[in-house]
C-alpha cells in the first residue's frame, strides 16, 4: 500500500506518496511461535532521549572475590562451602522458586480463582571458577563444559518423577536482575510446562500437522514440516548483506528474528537437521554450538564496549524421551525444535535501554530499529573481544 513520504524531520508529508519500505514505514510483523504481533516503527530511531540512563557496568572484576558466594571455596548463603572447583560446577539453589513437595490445593473461592500446586527443583550452574570471565571471555572448549553441564542437568531433572519441564537460562547483568556478576546460569525444573514454551509447542505442532513443506528444509518427526527448520532454511538463503543472519557455521545459525521484540534480540538454532533437545547433539554439533555461543556473546560485548546484559533461555523438548518409548502422534512435546532466545535490553548505548511499558504492556510489543538494521550492526562487529584489543 502506498504511504506518505517522510519529511526530513521524520514526519509524514501527505503530498508525496512512496512505495512501502519496511526500513522506513511503520508496519507489524507476526511471530508464528507465540502467535503475537510486534509493531515496527523505524522512523522513530531519531527520537531524542532524555529518559533514564543506566549506570555503567564495571568492566573489570577481580579473578576471585572473597565475598562472592559462587567463587571456589567460599561459603554460600546457606552456610555450606563451595568446593574448590576447577571447571563448570552446579549446586541446588538455596533460594529455589519451587520446592520438592507441594500440598493439595484448597477448594477455590470461585471458579475464576483457582490454585494449581507446583513442585520441582532449581539449580545454579556456575560457568567457570574465575569471577571475572563471562561466557564472552571463555574459550570454546570451556563453553563446551557448560553445554555438557546443561545436558547433564536437563537429563537428571527431566527424568525425575513428576517433572514435566526443565528451563535452562542465564540472566547476565544487573539490569536483567542478576544478583551476582560471577558467570552463572540457572535451571528450574517443575511439574508444569510454562506459558511461553507451551505456546511455542502448540505452534510447532500446528505447523507440523497443517503446514506445508515449501522448501528443502530438514523435516521433523513423522517426516512432517518443522516451523523452525523451515524458518531457518529461509533465512540462510537470504543474501548476507540483506538478511537477518548475524553469524553461522556448519550446524548453527544466529539471527535477529523477523519478529524480534528486543533491539538486538537473537534466535540461535541448529539448521542442518531437526534436533529436539540438547541430549540429541552429536560431538561435532556441541563443538560448533560452543563456537557460535562465543561469537554471539563477543559481538554483544563489542557492540557498546561493555559487558552486554541479556536474558538467555533454552527452549527444547520439555523433558527427555525415556529410552525405548515413543510419543503419541498428537503429543506436542514431539514437535519441539531446540533453540535459544537472547533478549537484551540495551538500545542506543551501554546506558540507554529499551522499556516494555505503556502501549507495549496494554497493546502489543513495539520496536524502532528494524531487525535487519540490528543484524547488520551485529554482523559487522569484530569477533575479538574489545578488552583483548585494549590489552594489546
Question: What would the pLDDT profile of 240-251 be if each residue is shown by its tens digit?
Answer: 888 999 999 999
Which pLDDT belongs to residue 47? 60
321/197 Cα distance (integer angstroms): 17
User: Is 385 annotated as contributing to ligand binding?
Assistant: no
319 contacts 165 by C-beta, under 8 angstroms: yes
314/148 Cα distance (integer angstroms): 14
Which of the pair, 114 or 353, is modelled with greater confidence? 114
Which pLDDT belongs to residue 145? 98
Least confident of 4-18, 37-51, 127-141, 351-365: 4-18
Which pLDDT belongs to residue 1? 41
Question: Is 128 assigned a catalytic role?
Answer: no
Which of the pair, 31 or 328, is modelled with greater confidence? 31
Which of the pair, 50 or 354, is modelled with greater confidence? 354
- What are the phi and psi torsion angles at 388 (to 5°)? -70, -35
**Active-site option among 25, 128, 184, 251:** 184
pLDDT at 58 over 60: no
Q: What percentage of the chain has pLDDT greater than the value 70?
A: 88
Which pLDDT belongs to residue 355? 75
pLDDT in tens, 184-208: 999 999 999 999 999 999 999 999 9
Which pLDDT belongs to residue 49? 44
201 contacts 193 by C-beta, under 8 angstroms: yes
Closest CA to 345 of 258, 263, 267, 266: 263
User: Is 337 annotated as contributing to ligand binding?
Assistant: no
Which pLDDT belongs to residue 13? 58
User: Is 274 annotated as contributing to ligand binding?
Assistant: no
62/23 Cα distance (integer angstroms): 43
Which pLDDT belongs to residue 308? 87
DSSP-derived pairing of the beta strands 245-248 and 252-255: antiparallel
Give the mean model confidence (pLDDT) for residues 126-148. 97
pLDDT at 50 over 80: no
Which pLDDT belongs to residue 2? 44
DSSP-derived pairing of the beta strands 36-40 and 365-367: parallel
Which pLDDT belongs to residue 63? 95
Q: If 0-12 CB within 10 Å is exposed, 13-18 middle and 19+ buried, where does residue 325 land?
A: exposed
pLDDT in tens, 291-347: 999 999 999 999 988 888 999 999 999 999 987 666 555 577 899 999 999 999 887
User: Is 315 annotated as contributing to ligand binding?
Assistant: yes
pLDDT in tens, 162-189: 999 999 999 987 666 677 889 999 999 9
Give the mean model confidence (pLDDT) for residues 356-363. 88
Cα four-point dihedral sign 63, 139, 55, 126: negative
Q: What percentage of the chain has pLDDT greater than the value 90?
A: 68
Which of the pair, 48 or 170, is modelled with greater confidence? 170
Which of the pair, 21 or 56, is modelled with greater confidence? 21
User: Is 131 annotated as contributing to ligand binding?
Assistant: yes
In whole numbers, what is the pLDDT of the chain averaged over residues? Answer: 89
pLDDT in tens, 94-127: 999 999 998 998 899 999 999 999 999 999 999 9
Give the mean model confidence (pLDDT) for residues 129-156. 97
Which pLDDT belongs to residue 15? 43
Amino acid at each position: 500500500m502506498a504511504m506518505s513520504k517522510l519529511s526530513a524531520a521524520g514526519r509524514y508529508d501527505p503530498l508525496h506518496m512512496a512505495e512501502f519500505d519496511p526500513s522506513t514505514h511503520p508496519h507489524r510483523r507476526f511471530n508464528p511461535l507465540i502467535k503475537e504481533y510486534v509493531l515496527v516503527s523505524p522512523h522513530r530511531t531519531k527520537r531524542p532521549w532524555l529518559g533514564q540512563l543506566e549506570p555503567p557496568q564495571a568492566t573489570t572484576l577481580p579473578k576471585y572475590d572473597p565475598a562472592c558466594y559462587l567463587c571456589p571455596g567460599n561459603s554460600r548463603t546457606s552456610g555450606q562451602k563451595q568446593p574448590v572447583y576447577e571447571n563448570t560446577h552446579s549446586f541446588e539453589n538455596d533460594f529455589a522458586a519451587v520446592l520438592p513437595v507441594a500440598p493439595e490445593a484448597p477448594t477455590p473461592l470461585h471458579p475464576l480463582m483457582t490454585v494449581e500446586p507446583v513442585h520441582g527443583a532449581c539449580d545454579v550452574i556456575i560457568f567457570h571458577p574465575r569471577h571475572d570471565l563471562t561466557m564472552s571471555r571463555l574459550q570454546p572448549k570451556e563453553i563446551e563444559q557448560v553445554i555438557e553441564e546443561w545436558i547433564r542437568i536437563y537429563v537428571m531433572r527431566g527424568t525425575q518423577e513428576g517433572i514435566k519441564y526443565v528451563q535452562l537460562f542465564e540472566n547476565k547483568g544487573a539490569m536483567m536482575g542478576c544478583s551476582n556478576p560471577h558467570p552463572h546460569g540457572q535451571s528450574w525444573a517443575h511439574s508444569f510446562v510454562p506459558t511461553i514454551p507451551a505456546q511455542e509447542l502448540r505452534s510447532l505442532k500446528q505447523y507440523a500437522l497443517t503446514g506445508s513443506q515449501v522448501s528443502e528444509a530438514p523435516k521433523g518427526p513423522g517426516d512432517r514440516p518443522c516451523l523452525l527448520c523451515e524458518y531457518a532454511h529461509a533465512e540462510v538463503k537470504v543474501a548476507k548483506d540483506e538478511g537477518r543472519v548475524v553469524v553461522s557455521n556448519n550446524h548453527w545459525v544466529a539471527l535477529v528474528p523477523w519478529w524480534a521484540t528486543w533491539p538486538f534480540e537473537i534466535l540461535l538454532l541448529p539448521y542442518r537437521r531437526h534436533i529436539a533437545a540438547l541430549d540429541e547433539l552429536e560431538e561435532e554439533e556441541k563443538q560448533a554450538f560452543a563456537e557460535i555461543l562465543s561469537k554471539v556473546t563477543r559481538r554483544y560485548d563489542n557492540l557498546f564496549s561493555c559487558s552486554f546484559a541479556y536474558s538467555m533461555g533454552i527452549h527444547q523438548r520439555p523433558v527427555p524421551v525415556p529410552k525405548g518409548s515413543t510419543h503419541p502422534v498428537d503429543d506436542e512435546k514431539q514437535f519441539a525444535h531446540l533453540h535459544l532466545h537472547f533478549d537484551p535490553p540495551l538500545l542506543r548505548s551501554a546506558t540507554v535501554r529499551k522499556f516494555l511499558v505503556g502501549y507495549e504492556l496494554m497493546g502489543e510489543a513495539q520496536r524502532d530499529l528494524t531487525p535487519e538494521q540490528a543484524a547488520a550492526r551485529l554482523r559487522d562487529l569484530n569477533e575479538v573481544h574489545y578488552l583483548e584489543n585494549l590489552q594489546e
